[in-house]
Amino acid sequence: MYEIAICDDIQQICEEVYKLVSEELLKRDVDVRIHTYTSGQALLRAGIIFDILFLDIELGRENGLEIAREYPYKKETRIIFLTSHIEEMPNGYKVRAFRFLTKPIEPAHFEEALFSAIRDIEQDKRFTVTDEEGVHIIRSSEIFYLESQQRSTGVRTRERFARLPLSIEEMKKELDMTQFYCPHKSYIVNMDFIRTIDKGVVILKNDEKIKISRLKMKDFKEKFYDYLRSRANGF
C-alpha cells in the first residue's frame, strides 16, 4: 500500500488532487491510502512516513519549502511541489523535490509526476554494504557514486564509504541507468547528486570530483541535461 499526502491551504485544491490521485490509481488497481492536510504543521504532527507528498509552496502564512525542511522523512518521500511561481524551482531541489506542478494543474503533467514517483519508489533498490562499523542497508537513491575495486565495489553515501560484494558491471544491471551514469569505466555516478560539470570532471554535492572520460563528455552532458529536464517536467 502507498501512503500519499496532499497538503494545501485551499480545500478545493486538496479535493482536486485527491480526485486525480484516486482516479489514476483506481484505473490501475493500485492500493493506496490518501491523507489531506490544510496546514504544514498538521502534516508534520501526523508523524507518518509518506511515499509521495503533494505539497503547496504557498501555505497561507506558512512556507511549503520551510515545512519540507522540517519534514523528517525526506529521504523516504517523493515530494511533488504545487506552485504558481516557477522561480521557486531552484529552492525546491534543496529539500529533495521530486517534481514541480504549476497551478492550475495539468492532468497530463500530474499523471507523469505521480507515476514517475511510483516507478522511482519501485526502483529504489536496497543493498547490503559493509564498512568498519559493520553491516548497513542502503537505498540506491542514497548512493552518490560507485567506484570499481578489486573483487568489489566501493559505495559513497552521505554517511559513509562502504563496500558491496558485486562488481561495477553487476551494479549496472541492478541500478536504474536513466538516473545513474558511467562517466568513466571505474565509476558510476548518481545524477541526483551532481552539482556541476566543469573542465572534464563531475563535481558532486559533497564536493568530491570524478573524472569524465574524454570520449564520454558529449554524451554525458546530454544525458545529464536530459535528466534535469525530466525532473522539472511539471513545468
215 plus 192 within the same structural domain: yes
Structural domain ending residue among the three candidates 123, 149, 173: 123
The whole-angstrom separation of Cα 86 and Cα 106 is 15
SS (H, E, C) 67-80: HHHHCCCCCCCEEE
Q: Residues 186-207: what's their mean pLDDT?
A: 93
CATH of the domain at 136: 2.40.50.1020
Using DSSP bridges, classify how beta strands 201-204 and 194-198 pair: parallel, antiparallel or unpaired.
Answer: antiparallel
Q: What percent of the chain has pLDDT over 70?
A: 94
Count of domains observed in the chain:
2
Measured CA distances, 119 to 15, 19, 91, 122, 123 (Å): 24, 21, 24, 5, 6
| Rounded CA separation 53/98 (Å) | 10
Query: Domain of 11: which CATH number?
Result: 3.40.50.2300
The answer for residues whose C-beta is within 8 angstroms of residue 64's C-beta and 6 or more apart is 7, 40, 55, 56, 57, 58, 81, 83
Residues 184 and 77 in one domain: no
**Domain hosting residue 186, numbered range:** 126-222
What whole-number distance in Å separates Cα of residue 115 and Cα of residue 109? Answer: 10
Structure-derived torsion over alpha carbons of residues 159, 160, 162, 167, reported in degrees to the nearest 10: 70
69 and 100 share one domain: yes
Q: How confident is the model at residue 95 (pLDDT cuts 50, 70, 90)?
A: confident
pLDDT in tens, 22-73: 999 988 888 899 999 999 999 999 999 999 999 999 998 999 999 999 999 8
Same domain, 41 and 17: yes
**Is residue 88's pLDDT more than 70?**
no
What's the whole-number average pLDDT of the chain?
90
Same domain, 192 and 214: yes
